[in-house]
Amino acid sequence: MREWLKNEKTVDRIAPFVAVLFGLIVGVFLILFTKNSPIDGFKYLLQGGIGLKDGQIDNLQKIGKLLLEATPLILAGLAVGFSFRTGIFNIGVSGQMLIGGLAATVIGTQFEMARAIQVPLVIIAAGLAGALWAFIPAILKAKYKVNEVVTTIMMNYIALEVVAYFIRNIIQSPHFDTESAKVLPSATLRIEWLYNMFDRANLNIGIFISLAIAAIYAFVLNKTTFGYELKAVGHNKDASEYAGIKVNTRILQALMISGGMAGLAGVTFYLGNTDHIAIGQLPSYGFDGIVIALLGLNSAIGIILASLLLAFFNVGSGAVKANLVNNVPNQLVPMMIAVIIYFSATALLFKNFIKKLATGKKKGGAK
C-alpha cells in the first residue's frame, strides 16, 4: 500500500476524493446540527439528484435535469482547465460565457432561417464571440505581461454592460424590460426526442457538444505537438522559449481557445437550459468551472465527473430542504460544496499527508 501511495500520480488522483469525503462529513455534521437524520438527508439528496427511490430510479426526469445542469458546467470546467494547463488563470469565463450567449441570442431572435442552418450558426457564433472576448486580456498578457487575473475579471463586468445595451436597444422582450426576447424555435438547442425521453426535462444537444469538446480537449492536450507546447509553456515559460516554442503566441492561443469553450457554455445555457438572456445576471458557471477544474485535476474525464458531482448537489438540494422534518438552512448544500472547494484548493495539504502515510515518517524521523 505504501509503495502504491508513493506514486505521485496516485496521490494526485486520491486528493480530490479526500476533498469530497470531507465535504460529505461536514454535511453529516450540519444535518445533525439541525436535529435531522444524516441518512434521511443523503437519501433525499439522492432522490432529488438522480431520482433514486427505494433502490430504483423512479423516473428519468431527474437524470435529465442532472445532465442539463452538468452541460454548461462541463464546458466551463474545460475552459478553466485548458487555461490552467497552460499556466494561465482565466477568471473571465463567466463574461466570455455571457458574450457567447449574447451572440447566439441575437442571431436566434433577429434572424429566422432553416433549423439545419441556424443551430450550427448560433453555436459557431457563440464560440467565436467567447474567443474574441478573451482576445483583449490575451493580447495584454502575451504582449505587455499584464496580469490576466485582473483583466479577465474586469471583462466580466464589461460583458454585463454590453448585454444590458443589446437587450435595451436591440433584442428586448415585448413583455419584460430586463430580458431579451425568446429565441426562435429554429434556433433553440432543444430537440423533441430528448425532451420526451427524459420526461419533459429540457435536456438538449448541448450535452453532446460538451462531451465532444471534452474529447477534443483530451486529444489536443495529450496527443498533439500543439498540446505539448501549450503544457510546456504552462510548466516553464523560460525553458519553453529556450527550446524554440513561441511562448507569447501559445499564451494568446490558449486564452482564446479557453474563451471559445466558455462561449459554447453560453450557447448551451441561454439557448438550451433557458431561451433568453437577462440584464445584470453574470452566470455563476464560470466560477464553478474553477472548482470543477481543481477537483477534476484539469483532465477531461475528471472535469466531466466533477461537473456531474456539482450538478448532483445543485439539483438534489431542493429535495433535502423540502423533505427533512426540522428546519434546514438553504445554505446546507452550498456549504458542503464550499467545503469541497476549500479542500480541493488545499489539495497540496492532502498530498503531503498521504506522502507521510506512504513513507511512514514521523517528526522524529523515518521508521
Q: Please choose, from the candidates 174, 226, 210, the residue with its C-alpha nearest in 3D space to the C-alpha of residue 311.
A: 210
Any idea how long the chain is?
Answer: 367
- 366 pLDDT band, cuts 50/70/90, is very low
Please list the residues that pair with 190 across neighbouring strands.
204
Mean pLDDT value of segment 19-48 = 83
**C-alpha of 357 from chain center:** 33
Phi then psi dihedrals of residue 255, to 5 deg: -70, -35
Mean pLDDT value of segment 69-98 = 95
pLDDT higher at 230 or 3: 230
pLDDT higher at 323 or 271: 271
Q: Please give the pLDDT value at position 367.
A: 44
Mean pLDDT value of segment 107-127 = 96
Q: Report which secondary-structure segment, H or E, holds 56.
A: strand 56-57
- Gap between the Cα atoms of 172 and 273, Å rounded: 19
- 54 pLDDT band, cuts 50/70/90, is low
- Taking only the tens place, the pLDDT of each residue in 308-321 is 999 998 888 878 87
Q: Is it the case that residue 363 has pLDDT exceeding 60? A: no
What pTM, to 2 d.p., does this model score?
0.90
The average confidence (pLDDT) of the chain is 87
- Gap between the Cα atoms of 261 and 87, Å rounded: 17
- 354 pLDDT band, cuts 50/70/90, is low
- Gap between the Cα atoms of 74 and 208, Å rounded: 11
- Taking only the tens place, the pLDDT of each residue in 199-252 is 888 899 999 999 999 999 999 999 999 999 999 998 888 899 999 999 999 999
Q: Please give the pLDDT value at position 6.
A: 56
- Gap between the Cα atoms of 367 and 362, Å rounded: 7
Q: What angle do CA 134, 135, 141 make, to 5 degrees?
A: 95
Q: Please give the pLDDT value at position 138.
A: 95
Q: Please give the pLDDT value at position 216.
A: 97
Q: Please choose, from the candidates 156, 122, 118, the residue with its C-alpha nearest in 3D space to the C-alpha of residue 137.
A: 156
Residue 331 grid cell: 445554505
- Gap between the Cα atoms of 171 and 183, Å rounded: 10
- 131 pLDDT band, cuts 50/70/90, is very high
Burial of 312-350, coded b for 16+ CB within 10 Å and e otherwise, reads bbbbbbebbbebbeeebeeebbeebbebbbebbeebeeb
Please list the residues that pair with 204 across neighbouring strands.
190
- 361 pLDDT band, cuts 50/70/90, is low
**What is the percent of the chain with per-residue pLDDT over 90, rounded to a whole number?**
59
Domains located in the chain, CATH noted: 63-310 (1.10.3470)
- Taking only the tens place, the pLDDT of each residue in 157-177 is 999 999 999 999 999 999 999
**C-alpha of 367 from chain center:** 43
